[in-house]
Structure 1
Amino acid sequence: MIDTADHDGIIVLTLRHGPVNALDLELLTALPEALADAADSRGVVLTGSGRTFSAGVDLKRIVEGGPRYVEAFLPALHRATLALFGHPKPVVAALNGHALAGGCVLAAACDLRLMCGGTIGLTELAAGVPFPTACLEVMRHAVGPALDTMVLGAGRRTPEEAVPIGLVHEIVEPDRLLPAALRRTEELCSAPPEVYALSKRQLHRPVLRRIAAAAPLEDPEVATVWSAERTARILRGYLSSLRRT
């Protein structure tokens, strides 16, 4: 589900979960565990297998699992997002292809994002589901004022379009993606680990405060919508439209 490789103390985590690395309960449970196992590393690179970093939430599982599955899934998404965002060591995303919806959120939770192709963006509103608080606030930290358009427009951006808003930091050729990500991680590792960790905590503190304040108020409503039969009908239609394209 997540392959681990050690490159001179930098751990490369590769999502290897189906053809598009869709986010389900099992993958989101495995990610914090993999990050915990990398606690003693100098840094982390997060990438995907195949041509897709992650196409986002496995919506078919949401439909088939119903409210009971959603009840377990949304907290797992919350924990995985914050585990990645809060990892004290340098974390670089090597986006090997599409990074959509939840996949875009995971990318945004990393310190730097390199991309070699595909598209990146938030498609939740097109699918008919709202954002959990942690996902929304991590995205706000990454792209600032551009978040309104990304959320309400529910569109995709090319790597070239994502650079001006800070969603992608560097565009590289596919065969140079991993070496470039390792190089950028190595650069971040030049700071003393305790200084880097403290600096991240300082930068992230406003985000975590907003999440702590808003999540208890908003996430129950988010869960209600995700669990609703009306949402399941919308998702079935959305999935059918994807199969026709």
Structure 2
Amino acid sequence: MIFVEPHGDLAVVRLDHGKVNALDLELCDAISRTVSSLEADAIVLAAAGSVFSAGVDLRRVADGGADYVAAFLPALSKAFLAVFDCPRPVVAAVGGPAIAGGAVLVAAADHRVMSGGRIGLTELLVGVPFPVAALEIVRHATGRHAARLVNTGVVVEPAEALRVGLVDEVVTADELLPTALERATELAKVPQAAFALTKEQLHRPVRTRVEASRAVDDPRVTALWQSPDALAGIKSYLDALASR
């Protein structure tokens, strides 16, 4: 599901969950545990295969219904925030598609390197809203571009992802991991306590908005994901994909 490759004082955390690293309850829990427990000087978040992550496992949502949604959405937000709040540098190495929740995971990193695939925030196209943590992480990464990216669900190539702030560098496939490790090494040179405090300060506006909004927004998000209309829409979307 996840494996960790030591690279000296760094750790490469590779998602290895099915063909497309779809985010389900188990993978979200594994991301949270792994990122929170690592003691490496910096982390590179990558995929074992050609797809970084295709986002939420909608089949699990459709099959599990309201009870699964009630357990899954908090775990999803926890995974995003585990990456975003990690006191050590996190560099995302994106070698293939990063869609929906996969794009949010990328946005949660401190530095993002991409070599191929497409990236985008497609939740609204499926008929479900973002948890507040995901929205705020995307807003932090992309600023004035956030509303267009979220509202249109546009999926973009690496060059456009660079322009709108979803990634920080575009490189070749051969350069992806070496560049990510190089950036992680550079960030790890900052004394750890100073880096962690500065990261906390930079992220504080996001965390303040998340905590202020969760009690109001997250129940409404969960209710919409659990609604019969949303679950039926997800099933229709999956059926349409299967028929192509």
**TM band (smaller chain):** over 0.9
Counterpart-to-counterpart distance in 1, 2:22 and 2:131: 17
Deviations 1:98-133 (A, max 9, x none): 001000000000001111111001000111100100
Query: 1:83 maps to what in 2?
Result: 82
Counterpart-to-counterpart distance in 1, 2:103 and 2:19: 17
Query: 1:129 maps to what in 2?
Result: 128
Map of 1:21-36 to 2, 5 A cutoff? 21-36=21-36
Identity of aligned residues (%): 48
Query: 1:59 maps to what in 2?
Result: 58
Map of 1:78-117 to 2, 5 A cutoff? 78-117=77-116
Deviations 1:191-212 (A, max 9, x none): 1111110110000000000001
Counterpart-to-counterpart distance in 1, 2:48 and 2:152: 28
- Answer whether contact 1:15 1:47 (CA < 8 A) is retained: yes
Query: 1:5 maps to what in 2?
Result: 5
Secondary structure, counterpart of 2:205 in structure 1: helix
Counterpart-to-counterpart distance in 1, 2:170 and 2:215: 38
Quote how far apart the aligned CAs of 1:241 are. 2.2
State the one-letter code of the partner of 1:128. Answer: G
Query: 1:44 maps to what in 2?
Result: 43
State the one-letter code of the partner of 2:157. Answer: T
Quote how far apart the aligned CAs of 1:172 are. 1.3
Quote how far apart the aligned CAs of 1:242 are. 2.1
**Count of matched residue pairs:** 244
- Answer whether contact 1:6 1:12 (CA < 8 A) is retained: yes
Map of 1:1-245 to 2, 5 A cutoff? 1-38=1-38, 40-245=39-244
State the one-letter code of the partner of 1:97. Answer: G
Query: What runs of 5+ residues in structure 1 fail to find an aligned partner?
Result: none
Greater Cα offset, 148-157 or 167-176: 167-176
State the one-letter code of the partner of 1:4. Answer: V
Counterpart-to-counterpart distance in 2, 1:176 and 1:157: 21
Secondary structure, counterpart of 1:130 in structure 2: coil
Counterpart-to-counterpart distance in 1, 2:242 and 2:63: 17
Counterpart-to-counterpart distance in 2, 1:8 and 1:82: 26
Secondary structure, counterpart of 2:163 in structure 1: coil
- Answer whether contact 1:49 1:96 (CA < 8 A) is retained: no
Quote how far apart the aligned CAs of 1:37 are. 2.4
State the one-letter code of the partner of 1:243. Answer: A
Counterpart-to-counterpart distance in 2, 1:36 and 1:208: 17
Quote how far apart the aligned CAs of 1:164 are. 1.3
Secondary structure, counterpart of 1:97 in structure 2: coil
State the one-letter code of the partner of 2:241. Answer: L
Secondary structure, counterpart of 1:92 in structure 2: strand
Query: What runs of 5+ residues in structure 2 fail to find an aligned partner?
Result: none
- Structure 1 residue runs of 4+, over 4 Å off? none
State the one-letter code of the partner of 1:208. Answer: R
Quote how far apart the aligned CAs of 1:74 are. 0.5
Q: Please, what is the CA RMSD of the aligned residues?
A: 0.8
Greater Cα offset, 233-242 or 127-136: 233-242
